[in-house]
Chains A and B, each alone.
Chain A
Amino acid sequence: MTQTPTIGFFQMLPLECKKLKRTGCLPAVVLCGLFAAAFPLANMLVRPEAFTTLPGDPLSILADANWQMIAMLNILLSICLCCIMYHTEFADRGIQKSETLPVKAHLLFLGKGTILAVSGIVVILTECAALGFCALHWFPAYTFDSSAAFALLKFAGFQWLMLLPTMLLMLCIASICSNMWTSLGIGIILTFTIYVFPQKNLLLGLLPFSTPYHLLSESVSADQTLLYPAACAAETILFALCGAIYPSIRRYHS
């Protein structure tokens, strides 16, 4: 008797990508990256002297001026992506069909989470490229050598890690709520309430939806280089576990 072959993680990824094929996720990621990249460019085009005269590292000047809005756009993109990823499952009861497949339930979540993390890399690299371009074009002192490239990549990696807990928490929420407006509503409420909460409070600052606003330069100047990355890594693992375990507890009835 032959056993039904179960689908592994690496066979699951192309399947998840296929599900997103006609939802417009890929153009949304690209457009969000470009739209966010337009903020530093617009700022520099309209009032370059407000920034070029500031003392300090060009990259951190640009990040200080623009990252708040860029981070908010990244969070909003994560919310959209999570909502749509599970909307395609819940609409027409796709999730119940998925459950009958020889797929481990947690792979569904982890596959989606991986796609989300990769799209995070894409947007953040686009935005960092825009920051690098602005620095190169408007700041005469900035030269793009290997150390500058390394600094830019380090910045991108740090901001990506800051975004991960938000993405995974939102994916958990989207996997719990079968109506898209409920998960969207919770996402919007969390984004904007945490945004008005004081970021200086350390405990509130370490929450998902708040960490994406935190900059690498802030961590360095406060001498807490490891605190934020460690907290984000822990939160990411926690939410990944929660999301992976949840489907085996719950049955998706409608």
Chain B
Amino acid sequence: MKRSLIFLFTLLAFVSFVAAAEIKLDVKEHVLPNGMKILMIPKPGVPRVVCHIYFKVGSINEKPGITGLAHIHEHMMFKGTKMMGVTDYAKDAEIDRKIDELMDKIYREKYWTADGGDKAKLAQWQKEFDDLVKSEKPYIIKDEMWNLYMKNGGTALNASTGNENTGYYVTLPANKIELQMLLESDRMLNAYFREFYSEKDVIMEERRLSENRPGYFFSEQVNAAFYAASPYHWDVIGWMDDLRKVTKADLIEFHTKYYVPNNCVAIYVGDFDPQNIVQTAEKYFGRIPKGPDVEPIRTYEPPQYSEKRLYGEGPAATSLQMMFHAPQAGHPDAAPLSVLASILGGGGGGFRGFEPGDLTSLTAPPIIRGQRGGGFGGGGGTGRLNKILVQEKQLAVSASASSRAQWYVGAFQFSATPRLDKNVQPEDLEKEIWAEVEKIKKEGVTPEEIQKAKNRSEAMFIRSLGSTSGLAGSVGRAELNRGWRSILTDYENLTKVTNDDIKRVTVKYFVKDNSLTAIYKRKMGQ
């Protein structure tokens, strides 16, 4: 026993110090025999620990028919296990099986027939379904896992799904990490998806909330038009039809394939003893059997070969978006494009290694009400586009650029809002932006602009090390793709960018056949 303990700690001694900007990102690593990775960033001080688990699965692992499933699955992971959330597992499972059989009949009648099925039959089955749901209630302990976390001082309790990964979060008192390991390993091993059908209703309401945001439908179409082939084509929330029709069997298949220990990483940031974390992780996560290897996505975005344009009208602000396909994270051109975005956009671009991207979460953040001021500020920045279009030529109220390199695709985007009081049209801004791009193709940018972008990246990098949950998110997610050290190499690559690099990537990527231009005009109350 003692020997194995010593062996355990020898493994742990593999600690990584990598210097960047004279700052050390000290991540301790441990790999369990089943392939699950445990990362640790000790930060002594306040006795709390950020505990996150990331799975290498997101909306890009879906396909037509099951869009939105990664996110549905994330919600369902809170619906109990064989142990949690149930008073009598055997009895509950029996009812749950009947519910699934009945719903299978209902779905076939409703969705497999052209006319939507026999109404009387459906009504009868729906009544049977309602009765079964009612009979299951006494066996369900509502949100037991959530309650346990809360009762033990869990904060920042949430989960979120992105294009590429899914995260489960809780911050706990430093003496209660074992609770997280017990509950999380239990739901990896023994997830049992109760109340699937009412949870789908919840998610449809979540989608409606997005739909009611002015401009949402247009932006969803812009994204779908921009990514024609790759699975970035659909939003994380999924299409409404798929949310309606996706089945419990789809969900179980998805869970079995992706929620295996060799497809995930657990990360801890805070006040703890790493030896203790490793020991406890061996106990709990170590009991999960290794799963089959997971195949990466097959469909990358093919070259576009033609210009795309999209026009829309509705209640959102009049605006221009110009999007260009760009390489994925880690590609040699990603760094110059990022520096260029920082130079043009000011507020956007720069060091982006620590940004989580678009996420769909389990619960909404609390809305702060009764506050003044905050919502009206902004719109500034010292980027080149802002200087030229907003300040000098006074054609826009805002103008920005951003570069986003994702795991398998990338996008460079310009956004601008025209001055309505001067009757400027989005198309006028489009011409201005192209003129600026052509200028950069020939002349590049100034040394001061490059230096500023690098300084900003350095400072953002250092700041990101100060946040516990932000650090957990970026290190954990990076580990799943190119390893957490890619955060450091991405940063180092930014520091090496030259004016020639910027000219080269501008020539290469900013061409019409690689672009989508989206013009949106406000319809109401001009």
| A, B from the same assembly | no
Q: A interface vs B, CB < 8 Å?
A: none
